[in-house]
């Protein structure tokens, strides 16, 4: 496997004097909020000057970097992520895409010379290396870097500790019902990720939605899911997780690149159901 790189260290090293990172979070559900929270924390730890790109399009300078958030939107079944990256590209400053799953849309990538893309799995990296104009690197999913010791996430950790002390078994079955699902959703599934689709317009909103997401997970003693960031949230909280693959294989790729060995409590199952048929 290729050596992984730190996307935020890349931004810090590349940012010109007086430049800013103009950040566009990857839009989506509560899992996307978790990614965005970890990204904001990483910017602040590194001391990177940054603002949201919204409202700044007319003030973009050549010294700036245009940063599109990590996630799983650069695949054939979604169009929004590609439209966002393209809109940044035409603003004129260099574009950096934080760790994403990337599949398909070859014509798009052929026209994106000079863009830097961090891939969160080896398959995405191999695909983008077919486009010499795109500077591609392997990196961990941003969400795993969330520092749960910091406010407001420390409150969720305290909640998790209080719930765990009660030793009451509660199993969360959180399975997706969209085009990424490998099979039908059975009775009893609670797809917590889609409870909200935050606007990602302020740090307060991003952190509040990520905390709400984690607080729901904190109430369970075990998690079974095919949602990547439900599994990562469970890992951050120390909850045992069984994680199944999804239809486009992104979970397998991110598990191999980022999760294996990092979260001992996450067990990966490469199929639509485990040996006991307990997925749903």
Q: What is the 3-state secondary structure (H, E, C) of the chain?
A: CCCECCHHHHHHHHCCCCCCEEEECCCCCHHHHHHHHHHHHHHHHHCCCEEECCCCHHHCCCCCEEEECCEEEECCCCCHHHHHHHHHHCCCCCEEEEEEEECCCHHHHHCCCCCEEEECCHHHHHHHCCCCCCEEEECCCHHHHCCCCCCCHHHHHHHHHHHHHHCCCCEEEECCCCCCCCCCCCCCCCCHHHHCCCCCCCHHHHHHHHHHHHHHHHCCCEEEECCHHHHHHHHHHCCCEEEECCCCCHHHHHHHHHHCCCCCCEEEECCCCCCCCCCC
More confident residue, 172 or 178: 172
CATH architecture of the domain covering 7-143: 3-Layer(aba) Sandwich (3.40)
Q: How does pLDDT run across 195-208, given as a tens digit for each residue?
A: 999 999 999 999 99
Mean pLDDT, range 102-119, rounded to an integer: 96
Q: Is 223 left (phi over 0), alpha (psi -120 to 50) or beta?
A: beta
Domain residue spans of the chain? 7-143, 148-269
Q: What local confidence, expressed as pLDDT, does residue 278 receive?
A: 55
Mean pLDDT, range 182-187, rounded to an integer: 76
Question: pTM (2 decimals)?
Answer: 0.95
Q: Average pLDDT, whole number, for the chain?
A: 93
CA pair distance 51, 259, nearest whole angstrom = 30
Q: What local confidence, expressed as pLDDT, does residue 186 receive?
A: 73
Of 167, 200, 216, 221, which is closest to residue 52 (Cα–Cα)?
Answer: 200
Question: What residues have CB less than 8 Å from 160, skipping those under 6 apart?
Answer: 218, 237, 238, 239
Mean pLDDT, range 106-126, rounded to an integer: 97
| Strand partners of residue 225 | 174, 243
Q: What local confidence, expressed as pLDDT, does residue 187 receive?
A: 78
Mean pLDDT, range 228-232, rounded to an integer: 97
């Amino acid at each position: 496997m290729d050596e992984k790189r730190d996307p935020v260290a890349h931004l810090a090293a590349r940012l010109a004097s007086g430049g800013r990172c103009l950040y566009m979070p990857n839009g989506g559900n509560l899992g996307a909020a978790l990614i965005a929270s970890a990204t904001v924390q990483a910017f602040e730890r590194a001391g990177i000057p940054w603002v949201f790109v919204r409202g700044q399009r007319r003030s973009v300078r050549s010294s700036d970097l245009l940063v599109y958030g990590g996630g799983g939107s650069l695949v054939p079944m979604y169009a929004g992520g590609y439209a966002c990256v393209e809109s940044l590209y035409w603003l004129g400053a260099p574009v950096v895409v934080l760790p994403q799953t990337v599949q398909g849309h070859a014509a798009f990538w052929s026209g994106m010379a000079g863009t830097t893309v961090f891939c969160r799995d080896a398959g995405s990296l191999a695909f983008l290396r077919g486009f010499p104009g795109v500077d591609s690197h392997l990196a961990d999913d941003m969400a795993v870097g969330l520092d749960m010791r910091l406010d407001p996430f420390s409150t969720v950790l305290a909640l998790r500790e209080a719930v765990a002390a009660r030793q009451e078994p509660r199993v969360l079955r959180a399975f997706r019902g969209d085009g990424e699902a490998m099979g039908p959703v059975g009775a009893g599934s609670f797809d917590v990720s889609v409870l909200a689709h935050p606007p990602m317009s302020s740090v307060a909103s991003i952190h509040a939605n990520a905390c709400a997401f984690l607080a729901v997970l904190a109430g369970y003693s075990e998690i079974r899911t095919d949602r990547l960031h439900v599994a990562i949230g469970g890992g951050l909280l120390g909850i045992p997780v069984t994680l199944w693959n999804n239809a486009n294989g992104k979970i397998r790729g991110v598990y191999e690149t980022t999760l294996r060995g990092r979260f001992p409590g996450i067990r990966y199952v490469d199929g639509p159901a485990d040996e006991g048929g307990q997925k749903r």
